[in-house]
Amino acid sequence: MELDDRKRKILLAIIQNYQETGEPVGSRTISKMDDLNYSPATIRNEMADLEEMGLIVQPHTSAGRVPTDKGYRLYVDNLLKTDETSLTVSEAQLPGTHMEQLLSKRMDRVEEMLMRMAQILAANTQYTSMVTGPHYKRNKLKFIQMSAMGSGKLLAVIVLNGNIVKNNILDIGADLAPEVLTNLNFCLNNNLNGLSIEEINLALITKIKEEAGEYADVAAKVLDAVAGAFDKEDSVPVYTSGATNIFKYPELADNGKISDLINVLEEKSELGTTLGHVAEGESKQDIQVYIGDEVPVDSMKDCSVVTATYQMGDGVQGKIGIIGPKRMDYQKVVETLKATMSQLDGIFMKPEE
């Protein structure tokens, strides 16, 4: 059976009405819409066809219909195909906020900025938001600064592009003279600055140890700390906000699974390993929409999740996600995520002063 223009318009009307009300939509409701000049009888016939096609379903004994996962998928795929030309995201601002102003102090703490971003997204969409910390393996080293701490300990501050800072206290067994520290700092920075973890190979490590001479063991410990600064893929933090927004949607709050859903949002680890994964080659242009059974988290099968990949420059990436009911306002969520990424570009992609 073909999904012609009339069926498509009626499906769209059902979805939009159900998004707003959360109530099954009947033919009389559709017939009263100003932009649809179809009789209730015609609409009933088309709704019967849409139900046969698996795009809508009649819940319980209600006279109305609600969209199925398949119906939402058709709607979302069409939305994502057309929004490239219909959305002027570069000029968009998140309603009620000025993202760039709120996030302008990114240099202080990346973690604080990401938590704030999660709060802004939850407040503006009225859904639950999820933001993962940045993935470091694709990043590059900006500089290393070693300082003596006394008692045979050394503070190694490792800074990655995007001003991601990792502090490491190393036990080196003996205090180093200032001139030795100066030489080691020069050696490591001269050889490593601007490199990704993939570019720090065995030959380069051997060269650094040779230049460090009798302090090769100290250089080796700093190199281990550098590798550790990049190697954070398995422990990426996840920031969530707006978990209580779930209770606004009866289909999520009343189905007996609300405790499992809240637990996942609070524990966060499953979110990070499933929804928070950034695939190799994935770009910020990729908007992913998971509907119902497509969501890779068992306790979220009654939800929809929309994710996007953010970038902080030089390959540092993470995930932004919006979690809500299957009747979420997909267009608003997609526009919000695109606007967020556009404004993040304005913050992180501009040259540093």
List the domain boundaries for the chain.
Answer: 5-67, 89-135+236-348, 141-231
Indicate left, alpha or beta for 172 from its phi (over 0: left) and psi (-120 to 50: alpha): alpha
Query: Which residues are 304's β-sheet partners?
Result: 291, 324
Reduced to 3 states, what is the DSSP secondary structure of residue 23? coil
Q: Dihedral of CA 278/279/283/285: which sign?
A: negative
- Global pTM value: 0.72
Check if 5-67 and 89-135+236-348 are the same fold: no
CATH number of 5-67: 1.10.10.10
- Angle of CA points 62, 21, 307, to nearest 5°: 115
Q: What is the pLDDT along the chain (353 residues), one digit of tens a residue?
A: 789 999 999 999 999 999 999 999 998 899 888 788 888 899 999 999 999 999 999 987 767 899 999 999 999 998 777 655 344 443 444 544 455 555 555 444 677 888 888 999 999 999 999 998 876 556 788 999 999 988 889 999 998 876 778 899 999 988 999 999 999 999 999 999 989 888 888 899 999 999 999 999 999 999 999 988 876 544 678 899 999 998 899 888 876 778 888 888 888 878 877 776 665 555 555 789 999 999 988 889 999 999 998 877 656 678 899 999 999 999 999 999 988 887 776 666 554 44
**Could you write out the DSSP letters of every residue in 35-65?**
T----HHHHHHHHHHHHHTTSEE--TT-SSB
Q: Which CATH number fits domain 89-135+236-348: 3.10.350.10, 3.40.50.300, 3.30.450.40, 3.20.10.10?
A: 3.30.450.40
What's the rounded Cα separation, in Å, for the pair 38 and 33?
A: 9
The answer to whether domain 141-231 has CATH 3.10.280 is: no
What's the rounded Cα separation, in Å, for the pair 216 and 148?
A: 17
